[in-house]
Amino acid sequence: MPEDLHHIAAPPHRVWHRGGARPVLALHCSLAHAGAWSALAAGLHGITVTATDAPGHGRAEDWVPGTDMHALATAQSIAMAESLGQGGPIDLMGHSFGGTVALRIAVERPDLVRSLTLVEPVIFAAAHAIDAPAYADFRASHLGFAEKVAAGDLPGAAAEFHRHWGSGDVLSDLPERTRAYMTERIHLIVAQNPALLEDAGAILRPGRLEAVHAPVLLIEGADSPAIIDRIHRALALRLPQASRLVVPGAGHMVSITHATQIAPRVQAHLDRA
């Protein structure tokens, strides 16, 4: 991680007190904000959930083009984890982009991690080891999406992204404010490509995942894009204490759309850690 990111202030955040002081840090998906964890937090107990706003999202400062967004998000999350745990390990939850940040923390700072709950962490590069042709097809499609953003078709790019990675509806059905929020930030998806497609953060470097000894729960929607299954298969093969939960009828936004259904499994995972 770049040296100038080591000493960094914690990002804006929200807190849910769920009947216990045990700290849980929750990292949201792209084009969302800290409030995305409200439904799942409501279904858990015996903990205090703190959810942060990722760079460029919610109340956080705008992302500066040309800088390493994933490294910044990781540094901010480490700062928050250190504060919440006061030097001890805490539980991490992450969805999509946030899941990849949580996973990076686990390989860079295992001393901070008691357990990991990862909802479809989109470290796309992991899929290559499981199904190289499927990864190549996905990569080409994802880079095609980036070309649409570069061409200035931000509404079209946002609609395409939501169609694959949204909650099962179409972008035009969402409230105008939500559509504007997502469209204004669609360039952030492209900013993540070095980390997610190329593993710029070296999450997948040989030996790193194998050294993560915290228990890991991998949650996915049965109706999610096929690349997610490949990612989870790859991660489950390398993480020593990984288990998978596949939720019928759910897509990529499973931690929001099916929060009630997954909460008991997440709670059991936390209780065992």
Closest CA to 239 of 260, 256, 259, 215: 215
What type of residue is 155? Answer: P
Instruction: Return the domain boundaries, the chain.
Output: 3-126+198-272
| Cβ-contact 95, 123 below 8 angstroms | no
Confidence band, pLDDT 50/70/90 cuts, at residue 87: confident
Instruction: Indicate if the pLDDT at residue 273 is higher than 70.
Output: yes
Scored b (16 or more CB within 10 A) or e, 133-145 reads eebeebbeebeeb
pLDDT at 10: 72
What confidence tens digit (pLDDT) does each residue in 129-185 have? Answer: 999 999 999 999 999 999 999 999 999 999 999 999 998 889 999 999 999 999 999
pLDDT at 168: 84
Instruction: Identify the pLDDT of residue 3.
Output: 38
What is the pLDDT at residue 256?
97
Question: What's the rounded mean pLDDT across residues 2-9?
Answer: 49
Residue 195 confidence class, pLDDT cut points 50, 70, 90 = very high
Q: Is the pLDDT of residue 8 over 90?
A: no
User: In the prediction, which pLDDT does 1 show?
Assistant: 40
Give the model's confidence band at 43: pLDDT under 50 very low, under 70 low, under 90 confident, else very high: very high
Please list the helix, strand and coil fractions of the chain in percent, rounded to the nearest 5, in that order: 50, 15, 35
Question: What pTM, to 2 d.p., does this model score?
Answer: 0.95
pLDDT of the residue at 68: 97
What does pLDDT average to over the chain?
A: 95
| Residue 90 backbone phi and psi in degrees, to 5 | -130, 175
- The pLDDT, as a whole number, for residue 7 is 54
Q: What is the pLDDT of residue 169?
A: 87
Query: Where does the pLDDT of residue 60 fall: very low under 50, low under 70, confident under 90, or very high at 90 and above?
Result: very high
The predicted model gives 81-88 an average pLDDT of 94
Q: How many CA atoms lie within 13 A of 193 on its CB side?
A: 18
Rounded to the nearest angstrom, the gap between the alpha carbon of residue 253 and the centroid of all alpha carbons in its chain is 11
Q: Which CATH architecture has domain 3-126+198-272?
A: 3-Layer(aba) Sandwich (3.40)
Residue 133 main-chain phi, psi, to 5 deg: -60, -40
